[in-house]
Amino acid sequence: MENTELKSEPIYDVILKDVNKVYPNGFHAVYDFNINIQKGEFIVLAGPSGCGKSTTLRMIAGLEEISNGDLIINGKRVNDVAPKDRDIAMVFQNYALYAHMTVYQNLAFSLTIRKTDHEIIHKQVMYAANVLGLVPYLNRKPKQLSGGQRQRVAVGRAIVRDPVVFLLDEPLSNLDAKLRGSMRKELMQLHDRLGSTFVYVTHDQIEALTLATRIVVMKDGYVQQIATPKEMFEYPENLFVAGFIGTPPCNFYSGKIDAEVTKFIHQSGAEIYLSKEQSQILKDYASKEVVMASRPDYVFIDDSSLKKYSKQTFELNVEYFEFLGAYKLIYGTFGDERIIAKVDPRDEIDGDKIKACFQAEKILFYDKETERRIR
């Protein structure tokens, strides 16, 4: 039977095309930012302090002028459209609620000042309160709420506006670790329930990995990689992303590829054999220096792995280890480079020099000069 299903074009809620920001003092904070954000995506902008993620979010919000490039929201170029007319709602880190107003009034505020019809205001407020579990607190003042409840009111104020895009700038950073964890879960559920597009800024890579449909990692104003959390974890595009995403961080080793491109020779002299695929990928790197990377999750010390990866074994000098319930972290060195292994808590650690191995398929190689993944 003929497939009559129509292939529809993806709907993009937000498009950034070669977007740049140069602040009036001449500082170039964002370079050529390009992304097409589909309806319903949860995009997380991540990166260290000062990398330009808030600037990017503020340009989408209309709080910062775009120096160069195009911003398209819902099919319309909005570079010169005022924030209030952009179909966006923003939740900040310092969500200031109006202390003298009840939760209901706080939620209603943005619609009240727009002179929206009372019935619609009530409908929207009750919708947001229901979605966020705030109905029992509608008559309370902010100071009678917990931190998490206050945060929910701040999110609720964005929901009542029914925007095309929610912009969130580190909304959980003022909460303690435990509350952050539960609010993270709530945000995920909220995103599922609303089906709206979220753009979320954080410097916390765990938030990025758990919340995002796609993560954008930035550094010094440049986008380093845009990928799903899994892709970014498994195939970081460059050494910076490899080091930024994942806890504990990725292990890096210096050494070179042998003349026949069959093995990586670590600076300690240890030899790690390449898979056929890796030899193929590394064919231009014969006798050249490279950086080998392996996540702590893919270093093993148990007998069956040692047997399976007998051509990727090495001597691990154990300094100390931490038992963390579901796994054990071994801290030590491989030659004179640092290594962390995340192993099964039942694995025995006999002595301070033990045999360990890398999961062959998971080893990645990076060009020493460009720091980019060799692929």
Interface residues toward ligand ATP, by CB under 6 A = 23, 25, 27, 29, 47, 49-55, 203
Residue listed under structure tokens 């042998």 = 258
The residues, ordered by sequence, that sit 6+ positions from 186 with a Cβ below 8 Å of its Cβ are 132, 152
Q: Which helix (H) or strand (E) holds 300?
A: strand 299-300
337 in Cβ contact with 279 (< 8 Å): no
Residue at shortest CB range from ligand ATP: 54
217 in Cβ contact with 245 (< 8 Å): yes
With respect to ligand ATP, which residue has the nearer C-beta, 27 or 320?
A: 27
Cβ 68 to ligand ATP shortest distance, Å: 16
With respect to ligand ATP, which residue has the nearer C-beta, 50 or 147?
A: 50
Cβ 173 to ligand ATP shortest distance, Å: 9
Cβ 176 to ligand ATP shortest distance, Å: 19
With respect to ligand ATP, which residue has the nearer C-beta, 50 or 248?
A: 50
Between the CA of residue 261 and those of 50, 273, 283, 287, 359, what are the distances in Å?
40, 9, 6, 8, 19
With respect to ligand ATP, which residue has the nearer C-beta, 25 or 304?
A: 25
What is the per-residue DSSP string for 151-166? Answer: HHHHHHHHHTT--SEE
Q: Which amino acid is at 267?
A: Q
Cβ 87 to ligand ATP shortest distance, Å: 23
**Residue 260 DSSP SS3:** coil
What is the maximal distance between C-alpha atoms in the chain? 77
Cβ 226 to ligand ATP shortest distance, Å: 16
With respect to ligand ATP, which residue has the nearer C-beta, 50 or 83?
A: 50
Residue listed under structure tokens 């929206």 = 116
Cβ 235 to ligand ATP shortest distance, Å: 24
Cβ 28 to ligand ATP shortest distance, Å: 9
Distance CA 30, CA 52 (A): 6
Could you list the beta-strand ranges (E) of 2-50.
12-22, 28-38, 42-46
Cβ 51 to ligand ATP shortest distance, Å: 4
With respect to ligand ATP, which residue has the nearer C-beta, 180 or 342?
A: 180
Distance CA 109, CA 134 (A): 16
Q: Which helix (H) or strand (E) holds 234?
A: helix 229-234
With respect to ligand ATP, which residue has the nearer C-beta, 203 or 256?
A: 203
| CA trace torsion 356, 359, 362, 367 (10° rounding) | 40
Cβ 221 to ligand ATP shortest distance, Å: 7
With respect to ligand ATP, which residue has the nearer C-beta, 93 or 112?
A: 93
Token reading at 249: 């961080």
With respect to ligand ATP, which residue has the nearer C-beta, 54 or 196?
A: 54
Whether the CA torsion 53, 56, 57, 58 is positive or negative: it is: positive
